[in-house]
Amino acid sequence: METLSNPLLKVTQLKEVSDIAHSHGALSVVDNSFVTPIFQQPLHDGVDLVVHATTKCIGGHGDVLGGVVVAAEAGPLIDEIRQIQSLEGAVPSPFDCWLMHRGIQTLPCRMRVHAANALAVAQALEGHRAVAAVHYPGLKSHPHHALANRQLVGGYGGIVSVQVRGGRDVSIAVCRNVKIFKNATSFGTIESLIQHQASSPTHGTGTGLAEDLLRLSVGLEHQDDLIEDINQALSTAEAL
C-alpha cells in the first residue's frame, strides 16, 4: 500500500486491507513516506512492515539518500531483511547516518509546519480561477477527508497536488514562473518544490497521469509568501 498515495494523495484503509492480507496468509506493507510516523503509525493498524524513503521528509534537507523498513518487533522476517541488506551492501555510511539522525531530531517540528503551510496553500488554490482541482486530504472537498481524519493524527502532510486549467503547456509554464518554489523532483525538504508530474522520469512515461497535474512539496517558508508565489505563477502562465 501507499498512503498517502503519490501523487493524487488518496487514503487507503490500512486496517481493512491488512485484515484482508492476513486472512489470506499474506503480509501487509505500507509506504509511509508522505506523512511519516508523526502523522500516521501504520503498525497500530495491523500493518506488518512500514517503509520510508528517508531521503524525503525524515532526512528533510535534500542532502542524503536512504530508506528504512520498520516492524513492530524482531523476528525471522526482520532477520531476513537484515541479511539481505548486509549481503547486498545496502548499508549507509556513518555520515549518512549522522545526517538522518540530524533530520529525525527536527522531524516533529518540521512536519507540523509542512502540514500547516500545505493546508493554507491548498485552501488558497481551491478557489483559484486557474485551478481545476486540488488534491489534499486536509480539504473537506477531498473524497477521503473523513478517512484521513480517522487515520491521520495531527496533520495531513506537506504535499499538495493541483490540476491547472489549460493543460500541459500552462502547467509547465507555472513551473517555469515560480520564484520561491523550485522546479525540481523529490519532496519533504525544507524548501518548497514544484514538479510537472507527467514530465517526471519516475511518474510520467506510461503512467497515465493527467498532463495538467502539478505536485507541490510545501516547505518551511512563510505561507503567505508561498501563496503569493504560486498565485503570480498561475497568473503569468494564464497570460501566455
In tens, the pLDDT along 147-184 reads 999 999 999 999 999 999 999 999 999 999 999 999 99
Q: Do 69 and 127 share a domain, yes or no?
A: no
What was the pLDDT predicted at 208? 80
Dist CA 5 CA 48 (whole Å): 18
CATH of the domain at 217: 3.90.1150.10
Residue 194: beta bridge partners? 183, 216
What was the pLDDT predicted at 203? 64
What was the pLDDT predicted at 205? 62
What was the pLDDT predicted at 202? 67
DSSP 219: -
What was the pLDDT predicted at 204? 58
The pLDDT tens digits of the residues spanning 99-142 come to 999 999 999 999 999 999 999 999 999 989 999 999 999 999 99
Q: What is the pTM of this model?
A: 0.94
pLDDT at 22 over 80: yes
Q: List the domain range (segments joined by +) for residue 41.
A: 14-96
* Of 108, 100, 117, 7, nearest in space to 61 by CA: 100
Q: Do 156 and 70 share a domain, yes or no?
A: no
Tell me which long-range contacts 22-31 makes (C-beta under 8 A, separation of at least 24).
Answer: 22/46, 27/77, 28/1, 29/1, 30/1, 30/2, 30/3, 31/1, 31/2, 31/3
Q: Which helix (H) or strand (E) holds 194?
A: strand 193-196
What was the pLDDT predicted at 161? 98
Q: Do 146 and 180 share a domain, yes or no?
A: yes
Q: Quick check: is 227 in a domain?
A: yes
133 phi and psi, to 5 degrees? Answer: -160, 145
Dist CA 110 CA 104 (whole Å): 10
- Out of 73, 96, 119, a domain closes at 96
Q: Which helix (H) or strand (E) holds 131?
A: strand 131-135
Average pLDDT, the chain: 95
